[in-house]
Amino acid sequence: MADDLLSQLKRMTTVVADTGDLEAIRRFAPSDATTNPSLILQAAQQDGRRARLAEIARHATDIDDALDAVAVEIGSEISALVPGHVSTEVSARLSFDTEATLARARSLIERYARHGVGPERILIKVAATWEGIQAAKVLEREGIHTNLTLLFSFAQARACADAGVTLVSPFVGRILDWHKAQAPEADLEGDRDPGVQSVRRIYEYYKGHGFETIVMGASFRNSGEIQALAGCDRLTISPALLGELAEAEGPLERRLAPLGAETRPPEPQDEAEFRWALNEDAMATEKLAEGIRKFMADQRKLETLLGELRRQA
């Protein structure tokens, strides 16, 4: 009997769970796990966590302290279930503040250390704004590994590679969403999926120029997008799609493979070049802004919950 698609995928790509659900992580046994404000909110609202949330809220110095305490506690629990990295996100509110991002990232690493989780296990997630990329550049020099998220454009990918970040998370499904909205009748399946095309372009650019930055496709809308990127360095996948892949059988073709560096990379972009290139990409500009707003919306919900618990204490 043929192996299921998930088992085949794990032989060519590092599979990452895109969830804060501990039971899902136990079930699918991924190598790594990623979280974001939306996933932390979901995990925080699970049965059995409210008493612990109330305790964290009572002892926190302020809401930011409580937010990071919750994220690190859940991240620490996840770290006990995966052999590799756990990604924890800096507040989206700091997406345009390099110095504040640096301070918050360092604080998260210190918090993890107090939970017995070393910096080699953590990827600090930062939005791929110019300010976020510059913060990541400094953090990498300090030995703090970063995951640049909300990445929609080639300009962002280039700047991340120039900065030497550990990993980038190009968003596949949200790119597809934008193009579907623009052209509802267009055939955007399989290799025509613009999100899939974006990840392939980034992957080929990194491998062709010898960049060590890891490419981790994210934000999938269907299992076909995942299959079209089989062989990518890493893919972070929701529990629902992990389940779909685990139940499906048939051959899985490797679609991406490193061919080795062929040419030297171009000169790094400066800030003006980056901002102009991003501005020229309407999809990336809109989806980056939207992504930051959506993460903040869920963060505010968690802030409200923690604030209520603090007042009840």
Domains, the chain, in order of start with CATH, read 5-312 (3.20.20.70)
pLDDT, position 112: 98
287 catalytic? Reply is: no
pLDDT, position 282: 98
Token pair of 69, please? Answer: 């305490």
Radius of gyration of the chain (CA): 19
CA distance 136 to 205: 20
Q: Are 306 and 57 in contact (CB under 8 A)?
A: yes
Q: Are 174 and 152 in contact (CB under 8 A)?
A: yes
Q: What is the pTM of this model?
A: 0.95
Q: Are 236 and 13 in contact (CB under 8 A)?
A: no
Closest CA to 161 of 208, 101, 206: 206
CA distance 71 to 117: 13
Closest CA to 39 of 58, 56, 60, 25: 25
CA distance 278 to 286: 10
CA distance 271 to 199: 23
- Three-class secondary structure assignment of the chain: CCCEHHHHHHCCCEEEEECCCHHHHHHHCCCEEECCHHHHHHHHCCCCCHHHHHHHHHHCCCHHHHHHHHHHHHHHHHHCCCCCCEEEECCHHHCCCHHHHHHHHHHHHHHHHHCCCCHHHEEEEEECCHHHHHHHHHHHHCCCCEEEEEECCHHHHHHHHHHCCCEEEEEHHHHHHHHHHHCCCCCCCHHHCHHHHHHHHHHHHHHHHCCCCEEEEECCCCHHHHHHCCCCCEEEECHHHHHHHHHCECCCCCCCCCCCCCCCCCCCCCHHHHHHHHHHCHHHHHHHHHHHHHHHHHHHHHHHHHHHHHHHC
Closest CA to 68 of 118, 124, 149, 140: 124
* CA-to-CA separations, 12 to 6, 41, 116, 230, in angstroms, rounded: 10, 32, 31, 7
Q: For the chain (length 313 residues), average pLDDT per consecutive 10?
A: 89 95 93 90 83 89 93 94 96 97 98 97 98 98 98 98 98 97 94 97 95 97 97 97 96 92 84 98 98 95 88 75
* CA-to-CA separations, 157 to 1, 153, 209, 214, 273, in angstroms, rounded: 40, 7, 13, 11, 13
* CA-to-CA separations, 73 to 32, 93, 121, 151, 245, in angstroms, rounded: 16, 21, 14, 26, 29
Total residues found in the chain within this entry: 313
Of the residues 10, 125, 287, 294, which is catalytic? Answer: 125
Token pair of 21, please? Answer: 């659900």
